Structure 1
């Protein structure tokens, strides 16, 4: 009978250790989920900032092209030609 008691005690000890380990893993999982949410939020903010900076860069390039900088001469000419065509279309529509 002593051996059955030892086996039961051993099983209780192992179960206790497993339960303790399970609680630690659940706590670690909760921490990781919190960290994941934080990182997702930071990623969303970073994507927003990237889009804002891209728009600013696009605006600056357009402004430089409108000012006629050497780097954007071709773009400036194309933009002016597009505006002239648009104005011509408007004039032709008004005269009809």
Structure 2
């Protein structure tokens, strides 16, 4: 009978250790999930910032080319042509 009680005590100790490990891992998982959320929000902010800077850069290129710079003339002509096509489409839709 003493061996049976020793086995039960051993199992209780192991189960207790497993429960402690489980709790530690659960807490670590919660912390990692929170950190992931923070990093994802920062990533979204950075992506938004990159998009804003890209738009500003494109606007500056367009403005520079309109001021007479030869460097971006082709891009400006393409942009103007695209705008003219859009205006034509709007006029066509309004006249229907």
> TM class, shorter-chain normalised?
0.7 to 0.9
Q: Which moved more, 1:66-75 or 1:55-64?
A: 66-75
Residue number in structure 2 paired with 1:62 = 62
Q: Which has the larger radius of gyration?
A: 1
TM-score normalised by length of structure 2: 0.77
Q: Which residue of structure 1 aligns with residue 52 of structure 2?
A: 52
Question: 1:92 — aligned with what?
Answer: none
Take 1:44 and 1:38, find their aligned partners in 2: how far apart are those partners?
10
Which segments of 5 or more consecutive residues in structure 1 lack a partner in the other structure? 90-96
Q: Which residue of 2 aligns with 1:34?
A: 34
C-alpha displacement of 1:16 = 0.3
Using structure 1 for the length normalisation, give the TM-score.
0.77
Give the Cα–Cα distance (whole angstroms) in 2 for the partners of residues 58 and 18 of structure 1: 59
The structure 1 segments of at least 4 consecutive aligned residues displaced by more than 6 Å after TM superposition are none
Structure 2: gaps (5+ residues) = 89-96
